Structure 1
């Protein structure tokens, strides 16, 4: 079993982090905005779908909110 060397581990991690291509602030803000907008759109879609199903059930069976 190999002995763990914390200094070697830290050095390897720093080398890997240096290779990462980090997004710019602008790219981060744009993608965050898109995620929030699409989440809101999905929420509205599921709200409307739920209301439509609720209406159909109340028509078919005569109960529901």
Structure 2
């Protein structure tokens, strides 16, 4: 592998940094809104699943204890 000098390395980094395409403010806001919506939906879904299985476990435990 060829060695690069520090100045050549800095030049390469600057060249690559110029290729970066940053999202617009609107794109950032839309992405943030989608993340909030999806995490909320997943939170509600897993809460429902947890509640459902918790009720099943409680029912099975009540059957096992003879109540």
Question: Normalization by structure 1: what TM-score?
Answer: 0.80
Task: Report runs of 4+ in structure 1 exceeding 6 Å deviation.
Answer: none
Question: In 2, distance between residues paired with 1:4 and 1:47?
Answer: 54
Confirm or deny that 1:21 pairs with 2:21. Answer: yes
Secondary structure of the residue that 1:19 maps to in structure 2?
A: coil
Q: How many residues align?
A: 63
Question: Normalization by structure 2: what TM-score?
Answer: 0.78
The residue that corresponds to 1:48 in the other structure is: 48
Q: Greater Rg, structure 1 or structure 2?
A: 2
Structure 1 residue runs without a partner (length 5+): none
Deviations 1:6-61 (A, max 9, x none): 22112111111111222111101110111121111111111111010000111122
